Amino acid sequence: MMTSMDSFPRRVAENILPLSVAETLPAAFREWHFTGETVDHEIPEETCRLCDKEGLRYHFEIRNDQTGHRLDVGSECILKFQVAVFDEGRELGPDEARNALAERMRQMRLESCLRALERLAGVEANDILSNALAYYRLHKSLTPKFANVVFWRLQANSIDHDPTFFKVRLDKASYVTDLGAMRQRNVHRIWRALTSAQRKKAIALGHSAPPE
């Protein structure tokens, strides 16, 4: 366990102590909690205000109960330094906190996919795209056929999106049949959205992995 100042990187101490009442770590961390506020900056170029790590896409806000100071940090630092995470007034244990932050991350990715789909449905008046958006809102995933059209049109319209955030359903025989019948290049188009098990399934159906 982290028990002495020596356990903490100097920059972490330099960032948090001036905003806290306690003058040592880890005591100062006990004044802080995750507020529940998060920001998706869309591109990974933000900095964790605690450890100075760069390349963050998501900020999680922590607040000092006594000084009122707020800091935008990465979720890893919340877990690493055991900043309190609450759910309906109850402080979560370490595993619960990890799950809660992971769930928040999933939610932000889902919202990012929805924004891309909404933008797409806005620029192209097309029944397939509005059906894909309605389907995604309902199921939080796409069928292989929807995924193919969605990624094709997102790329064609240069709409920023991360294909790995989308989920593709293969839990019905008809979706597997559709995937098997897809043209190779269309399978490659949706490849990054497939899980490793789904990729194996695609290969078992006669497709090949896209070239690196």
Using CB under 5 A as the binding rule, whether residue 74 contacts Zn ion is answered as yes
Site for Zn ion in 42-61 (CB under 5 A): 48, 50-51, 53
Do 191 and 209 form a contact (C-beta atoms < 8 A)? yes
Nearer to Zn ion, 48 or 117 (CB): 48
Pick the stretch among 76-84, 118-126, 138-146, 181-189 that binds Zn ion (CB under 5 A).
76-84
Q: Which two tokens stand for residue 176?
A: 């597997």
Of all residues in the shown chain, the one whose CB is closest to Zn ion is 48
Nearer to Zn ion, 12 or 100 (CB): 12
What is the size of the binding site for Zn ion (CB under 5 A)?
Answer: 6
Nearest in space to 107 (alpha carbons), one of 145, 148, 169, 60:
60
The DSSP code sequence of 90-126 is: EEPPHHHHHHHHHHHHHHHHHHHHHHHHHHHHHHS--
Q: Which two tokens stand for residue 53?
A: 């790590």
Query: In the complex, what is the shortest distance from the CB of residue 8 to Zn ion, in angstroms, rounded to a whole number?
Result: 12
Question: Within 13 Å, how many C-alpha atoms sit on residue 78's CB side?
Answer: 33
Nearer to Zn ion, 53 or 199 (CB): 53
Binding stretches for Zn ion (CB under 5 A): 48, 50-51, 53, 74, 77
